[in-house]
Structure formats: structure tokens, C-alpha cells
Chains A and B, each alone.
Chain A
Amino acid sequence: MSDTHAESIRFVRETTLPQAEPPVAERGIYKWGRENLFATPANGLLTLVSLYVIYLVLSGVLPWLLNGVWNASSLSECREILAGETGGCFAVLVDRWSQLFFGFKYPSDQYWRPTLAFALFFVAVAPVLFFDLPRKMLAFTAVFPFLAYWLIWGGPVLVPVFAFVGVVVGYLVYARLVTQSFAGGFFGGVAAAAVTWFIGGYLVEWTSGPTSMLEAVPSRDLGGYMLNFMLGVTCVSLSVPIGIALALGRQSSMPFIKWVSVVFIEFIRGVPLITLLFVASVMLAYFFPPESTVDLFLRVVIMITMFSSAYIAEVIRGGLAALPKGQYEAADSLGLDYAQAMRLIILPQALKISIPGIVNIAVGLFKDTTLVSVISMFDLVGMIRGPILASTDWNGVYWELLGFAALLFFVVCYGISQYSQWLERRLATDHR
């Protein structure tokens, strides 16, 4: 500051003021509230309406939820305990816990078997879902379907053992032959597995005796949430490979193959799942040889798998179409044949793109397994609508049961969708 201006400036601040807090209206909860809740009058009104809706819902649900009765043997006993007050009768869940999960016919001393299969399911599926886990765990995943079959259905242990041996033999033949050509390996593997199963079938018949370690449970005795879970897991895992084949068929340059795939996919996608389940329950039996009896569970699995594979095929077709043409050309220029190009270059990328779609289909399919209650299978919804609500003890307990079913499905479906989002982030290899 020069002296010449010393008298023209009355006051000059020589120190920096300490930073001041923003005014009350511009900070903390006030600012947040004004910007997020009451930005404009219309917005404020919307907030008030929302608050009222939340109040209505909570005032209805909370007393019912918190004042619930957990120990009673019938609805009338619940009402006595409540003595006119609002409250849920959750005792029905305690009372019918095992029926909700296992159905009403599964032998109760054998509940440990499906439970153990369910626990092992997580061990088996973990290395598939989280690929940081040691790869050796995949060996257990390969064994699991046969183990789970044996645990849930019981019967002679040789059946799943030979089924597994057949798969192993098929894989060994495939691994041996695939170095020459993929087609040779594939068909050789299938043929070897078929031969093993054929021999195994005779061996099982020959050795069959009353010496089964686990009591055999027929399919019609399965029920409850276990049925939903089994149908969902089986059908999704079966329909992914079939869906890939259909998608490749639809993209194929061979007109006949393409035409067959298109007709199949469009036909299945054009009809509701219910009609396909009708096919399974009333019509499919006509398509099997007259003397054979194919049980309903297997028929339903066949139809649901067909249904979901058509949808998965469309998702994967989207993934295939989304790949840049350069990827196909690069595979060609490397001299790879069709099977190699697909296996090594195209499908891994296409499947990565299709993950969200496949997960959507899987979630939808899991929810749709409740439809089997329409063809009188006693899944979770079928159990609630049938044996439980029809019993004299619990006739009239709607909300507790339906709410519990809704909660079970919500937990699983929401969990799957959250996993899929994590997977997408994890697999994001492109740097955007």
C-alpha cells in the first residue's frame, strides 16, 4: 500500500477473517430438507402426501406386526390371547413351519435330508458365483446334483453313482477327442456317457435290493418352498446351455436349423406358462410310451425348462448381436473353426453382456414356479391355499401366511438381483 493513497482509503482490513459457518438455512438438515423435500410448493405437497401414505401404512402394519401372537395352536386361541386387540397371529408360521418348507407328505423324520442338501447347495454354488474362491471347489459342484438327488429322493445309491460315472466317462472321452475336433469330442462324449448309463441301468436292476441307505421318497411327496427352490434351480441351470444352443441356432447360417430355432422360440414365447403347465399335467403323458409313467415333477421340469430356455435364448441372441463384427472376423482370421471361435472368443463376451438379462429371466422363473400350484402341486403357495387355509385350526389366517410367502420370495429375488449388480461391476473389464 503506497503512501499516496493512505488518506483516500479509510479502512483496510489487515487480517483474514476466519471462515464463518453458512447461515442456518443454508446448512445441515435445513438445507437438505429444503432442497430435497420442499424445493417448490408442489414438491412440498408431494412430500406431505408421501408422509401421510407412510403414516397410513405404518399405522396399519406396525401394531399388527409388533403385537403378534407367536404361541398358539389355532386361530381361535390366537383371538383369545389378543382379546380384541390388533395383532397378527404368527403362531401359524411356528405351527406349520415344516409344512411351509417341506410340504405335508414328506416324512418328517427325514427333514434333515433336504435341509442338508440345501446347506450343501450353497457350498456347491459358491465357486460358481464368486470366482475368487479356490477352483478346486468346482469338483464338489460337479458332484452336487447327484448328491442332492440322492439326498432328496433317496432310493438305491447306485442310481446317482452310475449317473455320475456316466458323466465322468463322457467328459474323459470328450477331453481325449476334443483336441482333434470339437464335434468328434462332443458326440463321442455323449455316446460314451450313454453307453455307461445303459450298462449302469442293468447293473442297478441286477443289484437292486432292499438295501437302500436312504428311504425312497416319491416326487409327489415333495412340496412347500423346497419345491419352488428345486424347480427354480434345476430349470435355470438346465435352460442356460439349451438357451445358448438355441441362440446359436437362431444365428446360424443353416436355414433349417435357424428355422427350427425361430419356430421353437416364438412358439414358446407366445404362450403363457400356465398353458405349458397344462401341457405338462394333462397332455405330456400322451407323448411318452404307453407303458411308461413319467412323474409330474419331471414333466413340469421339462416344460419349465423349455419355457425359460426360449427366453434365455433371446437374451443371449441380444448378447451375440451386440458383439462388434470385428470379433467374429478376428476369430476367422486366426483360422479358428466355428466351435473354437464360439467357445474361445464369441460366447465368453456374449455371455458377459447377457448376464443382467439372464438374471432377470432367472428371477422371473423363480417367481413363476408358484404357478405349479395351479396344476395342484403343493408348492409354497399351494400349501398355503390348500392344506393350511383349509384346516379347521387356521382357516382365516390370510395375511400372516401370504406375507410370509411374499417375504421369502422377496428375500431370494432381491438377493439375486443385488448379486447380479455386483457381478456386473466385477466383470466390467472395459474402461469407460
Chain B
Amino acid sequence: MTTLTDPPKGAFRPSMLLYDSRYRSLTLQAIAAIVLGLCFLYLYSNVAANLRAAGLNISYDFLGNTAGYDINQTLIDYSSQSSNWRAAVVGILNTLLVAFLACVTATIFGVLAGVLRLSPNWLVRKLMAFYVEIFRNIPVLIWIIIIFTIMTAVLPAPSAFRGENPDSTMLFDLAAFTNRGVYIPGPYFTRGFGAEGNGALNWLLVIAVLLGSLFGTRAVTASANAKQAATGLRPNTLWVNLGIWFVPIIVVLFALGLTWDYPALKGFNFQGGLKVGGPLIALWFALSIYTGAFIAENVRAGIQAVSKGQTEAAAALGLRPRRVMGLVVLPQALRVIIPPLISQYLNITKNSSLAIAVGYADITATLGGITLNQTGRAIECVLLLMLFYLTISLLISAFMNVYNNNMKLKER
């Protein structure tokens, strides 16, 4: 703490290592480094001895071997003959899928509940407080299990949909909620690039078109802003924007021949359509409502952090309550909300590892579960698992920090 402005002259003595503040910190760090090094050496020698005793060595060869197990929900082609590495990639994609879905819905739930907690309506306020307290104070694992139980034990079996007077019916003949998963109509293309007309290239094209529309509308808005700044008149951009959004995508979808594949009861189960498995829904919904409760508190704190004078000033300008919220309060509150929101997204990604409790095949369940148990490669699997989550965490926080920097108050 203390810094000497006029260091005493004199020859170096060993006691100065401890009593001279110039050298003391170096001494302490050296001691710490040696202790830490010894600890690592000790741990390493233990690991080496244990591995030798077990006849193992650290090797990642098992990743190339045949996995030999099936995965019920995959985004890319996978069979039990695929390699362990392929299984891990399937798991990674599944983790990313559920994390992305849960982030989106949790934000929606959280913002809704957070804003409604400040509603002038007493009943709604109390109801939302109830929601937040209930969901925050009960472990997410219990929520996942409860929703998974609803999915498997309460929803009817596919056989209940059969017969003249079935016990259950499909929703609008489009979606079926069964204990084996939810079946919804799935889109596919009759024409296009892929071999069977349903290749990933078609979807890439669709996404590219949507991205193009996004940039198009942003350009239109920017030019409208420039015109308003120059002339004071704002050109009407609604119809242009709607056109940019809808015309190209409709043309592309029509050109590719978009058709819907409806689920239908054939044999013992539903065939066709998209199957969203019970584990995915349980995990997705549970993570959303659980984290939504936390986000609601962040949103409420953010809104309350905006000085009341801002609301009053906006009202004095004659803005209506909805515009006060949208134009004055929320943009300022976002600055307070975004940093904790980033950690909530991180939490969702990390909590998605609870998939292993309901049998959703995410990276923890494939690489850290079945592959680990089959090959016995505990150290390698757990290290890869940690590496994956570390990378994801760092990426999410880096990405959101860029966004945060864009949103933050621009000062001189």
C-alpha cells in the first residue's frame, strides 16, 4: 500500500526481501508461484500414477470411433454408426438450439412480467409478483422435471387419437400434443438445390433473403431520417418496408415450392411433420419461465432506475403512456437492463446442461454422458465439455458486450 518516494540507498541485504516494500511483493509472488507450481506438480503426478495404475493414457482417439448409440432428436444426419465426434457435434447443436430458443422466450416472458409488475393494475401487479417469487425460489431442476412429467405422464398417448370417437383430437387438425412429443406441420421444398429438395442450401437462401430485407428496411429508415432532418417532413415508409419484407421472401418461397408436411396418425404413431420431443419442450419451457422470472426483476429494476422526472417530462410534452414507455423510459432502462441480461443468457446456456436429467441429447448428455460412460475417457470428455462451455460463455459475453457498448450512453 505504502509507496516510498525516496528509497533508501544502500547495499542489498536478504532481509530486504521481506521488509522492503519494493521487494516484498516480488517475494510474495515468487512464494505463491512456487506453492502453486508444487500443487500442480503434485496433482499431475497423482493423475499420472492413477492413469498408469488403470492402464490408461490421455488420448483423443476415441472421438473417431463408432459411437454405437442412437439419439432421438438431431439437427444433422446421425446414426448409431457415426463417430463419437459426430455425436458430440449433434449435442453441441442441440445445446445451441435449446439455449437460443430459451433465450428468446425468456426475454419475452421477463420483459412482459417486469413491465406488468409496475402496472397500475393492482391484481396484475400481485399476480406478477407471485409469478416471480414462485419461479425464482424453486430449483430449475424441479421445474424441468415438473414440465417433463406433464409432457410424458399427462398428455395422451398417440393411440388416444385413434378411432371414431377419439379421447383426444388434434389442434385444428394441425398439431398433436402427445406423450411422445408435439407434432407440428413441417415445411419442405419441392424444388430447390438439395438432392431431395429439402437441403440446407434452401434454408440458407431463405435466411439470406430475410437478412437482405432487414438491411433494406434499415436503409429505407435511414434515408427517411435524413430527409426528415433536412426538410422536416417524414416520408411514409410503412408500405415500402412491408413490401421489402414480404415480396422477396414470398417470391423465393414460391420459387422453391414451399409445401407443408402435416402430421397424421399412421400405424402406432404420428408420421410426417416436425416432431418436437418432450425433453426439448420441457427444457425449453422450464428454462424460459425460470429465467424469465429473473429477467423480470432486472427489467423492473431497470425501469425503476429511470428517474421519475423523465416520465413526467415526457408526459408534459404530451406523449401518451405507451410512447413514454417506448421512446423515453425503455431506451434509458435498457442501459441498466442489458448487463444483467447478458448474465441471464449465460445462465440459460449453462443451465441447458440440465438436459441430462430429462434425456435431451445436448452436449452434456452425449459427450459427457453416454460417450463418457461407454469409453471411460473421463478426463478427456470432461475437459472437452468444459472447453466447449467456456468458449460459448466467452463468445456470448463478447457479443453482448459489443451490443452493450452500442447501447450505452454516448457522453463527450
Partner-B contacts on A (CB < 8 A): 35-37, 39, 43, 46-47, 50-51, 53-54, 253-257, 260, 267, 269-275, 278-279, 282-283, 285-290, 331-332, 336-338, 341, 363, 367-368, 370-371, 373-374, 381, 385, 396, 398-399, 402, 405-406, 409-410, 413-414, 417
- Given A46-B124, A51-B123, A374-B141, 7 more A-B residue pairs with CB atoms under 8 Å apart are A43-B119, A43-B120, A260-B32, A270-B394, A275-B364, A275-B368, A413-B137
User: Are B33 and A37 touching (Cβ within 8 A)?
Assistant: no
B28 nearest in chain A by CB position: A254
User: Are A43 and B354 touching (Cβ within 8 A)?
Assistant: no
Q: Which 6 A-B pairs have the closest CB atoms?
A: A36-B122, A272-B350, A413-B137, A367-B139, A282-B378, A270-B393
Known contacts A46-B124, A51-B123; decide if A385 and B145 are in contact (CB<8 Å): yes
Note all chain A residues with C-beta closer than 8 A to B368.
274-275, 278
Note all chain A residues with C-beta closer than 8 A to B149.
398-399, 402
User: Are A409 and B121 touching (Cβ within 8 A)?
Assistant: no
B391 nearest in chain A by CB position: A270
A50 nearest in chain B by CB position: B123
**In the bound complex, how far is the Cα of B165 from the Cα of A336, in angstroms?**
85
User: Of the candidates A36, A255, A370, A417, which one forms a contact with B120 in the assembled complex, judged by CB atoms under 8 Å apart?
Assistant: A36
**In the bound complex, how far is the Cα of B368 from the Cα of A46, in angstroms?**
46
Note all chain A residues with C-beta closer than 8 A to B382.
275, 278-279, 282-283
Note all chain B residues with C-beta closer than 8 A to A255.
29
User: Are A409 and B137 touching (Cβ within 8 A)?
Assistant: yes
The B345-372 residues at the A interface (CB cut-off 8 A) are 350-351, 353-354, 356-357, 364, 368, 372
User: Of the candidates B43, B141, B353, which one forms a contact with A381 in the assembled complex, judged by CB atoms under 8 Å apart?
Assistant: B141
Residues of A contacting B: mostly: helix
Q: Range of interface residues on chain B? A: 35 or more
User: Are B137 and A410 touching (Cβ within 8 A)?
Assistant: yes
**In the bound complex, how far is the Cα of B333 from the Cα of A45, in angstroms?**
27
User: Of the candidates A50, A256, A283, A368, which one forms a contact with B139 in the assembled complex, judged by CB atoms under 8 Å apart?
Assistant: A368
Q: Quick check: is B49 within 8 A (CB to CB) of the other chain?
A: yes
Note all chain A residues with C-beta closer than 8 A to B236.
none
**In the bound complex, how far is the Cα of B357 from the Cα of A99, in angstroms?**
21
A285 nearest in chain B by CB position: B50
Q: Quick check: is B138 within 8 A (CB to CB) of the other chain?
A: yes
Q: Quick check: is B36 within 8 A (CB to CB) of the other chain?
A: yes
Tell me the minimal C-beta distance from A229 to chain B in angstroms: 13
Selected A-B contacts with CB under 8 Å, 14 pairs: A35-B120, A39-B120, A50-B121, A254-B32, A269-B393, A270-B390, A271-B393, A274-B364, A275-B385, A278-B382, A283-B382, A290-B46, A381-B139, A413-B138
What is the 8 Å Cβ interface bit string for chain B, positions 367-381, against chain A (1 contact, 0 not)?
010001000001100
The B224-249 residues at the A interface (CB cut-off 8 A) are none
User: Are B356 and A405 touching (Cβ within 8 A)?
Assistant: no
**In the bound complex, how far is the Cα of B390 from the Cα of A332, in angstroms?**
39
User: Of the candidates B122, B146, B356, B378, which one forms a contact with A274 in the assembled complex, judged by CB atoms under 8 Å apart?
Assistant: B356
User: Are B32 and A267 touching (Cβ within 8 A)?
Assistant: no
Known contacts A272-B350, A288-B46; decide if A43 and B51 are in contact (CB<8 Å): no
